[in-house]
Amino acid sequence: MFKSGFVTIIGRPNVGKSTLMNSMIGEKISIMSDKPQTTRNKIRTVYTDDEAQIIFLDTPGIHKAKNRLGEFMNYEINTALEGIDVLVMLTDEFDKIGPGDEFIIEKIKGLKAKKILAINKTDKASKESALKIAGEFGKLDVFDDILPMSALNNTGVDLLIKLIIQYLEPGPMYFPSDYITDRPERFVVSEIIREKALLYLREEVPHGIAVEIEEMKERKDRKNKDLVDIRANILCERKSHKSIIIGKDGRKIKGIGKSAREDIENILGSHVNLQLFVKVSENWRNNNYLLKILGYDKNDSR
């Protein structure tokens, strides 16, 4: 009997939600970084095997909104909790249950969905610590299952998928079996560029950048092979940030472009001509017009 359903992954910033989802899907859809609040949109991906189809929603980390972008991110979280079958809360706490996790638990404990707590990053903690914190969470009587795991090392991921399927009801295949995400290629490309920028830039820059795909066209090169021309703008809020992004003699933006191009070519399956530019747009995180262009718009949220 085939099963299907909707599953939301939730947690504090930087607990490994995107790493977990990419590991379950087997493809790089959500960007990964050690910077908090890397994910800004609700990302929908699809896992399908012979038994079931799981539609996953990866959400931004829960945080206090400081601008309209932050408000949008929290809106994405709230809508991702509506009408779901299973909720996976991810944590990397090992000493005690912190205020961030306590806030999330208060938010989700009234949901009718089945709840699984995944204790991530066990590769960085002792078995005793993992068992102790699992016991602390178990006392709350909120979760139907608690699973220690490591998304980075792919430890416990298969078991998590089995637990999710166990809680799903019989249902149809909503998407074709080879379907991975409902996000358009332009979105995935912009996220890859932003990921590489996060990896290359200093601490004061990341939250103040966004990526706008200005042009994305397919054509044949001189050898009649597929080639995609991509022109993208990295937006930043200050002139001082622009020089940081470009780097001395343009080294930093060249590094961002080279690294991004390699990942984009793997996803698109063709050669890519990537041109990156840096534009200063002060206070873009509170600019409704720019937020809509960049895909951070509640009316267009899926």
- Say which CATH superfamily domain 185-300 falls into: K homology (KH) domain (3.30.300.20)
Coil, helix or strand at residue 68: helix
Neighbours of 56 (CB within 10 A): 24
Half-sphere exposure of 71 (CA within 13 A, CB side): 9
CA distances from 135 to 74, 164, 166 (A): 29, 21, 22
- pLDDT tens digits along 167-220: 999 999 988 888 887 677 888 888 889 888 888 886 656 567 888 899 999 998
> In the chain, what are the domain boundaries?
3-170, 185-300
- Say which CATH superfamily domain 3-170 falls into: P-loop containing nucleotide triphosphate hydrolases (3.40.50.300)
**Cβ(203)–Cβ(34) below 8 Å:** no
**Cα(151)–Cα(26) distance, rounded to whole angstroms?**
12
Residue 7's H or E segment, with its range, is: strand 3-11
How far is C-alpha 279 from the chain's CA centre? 25
Coil, helix or strand at residue 186: helix
pLDDT value, residue 209:
82
Q: Is the pTM of this model over 0.85?
A: no
pLDDT value, residue 37:
43
Place of tokens 């991110």: 73
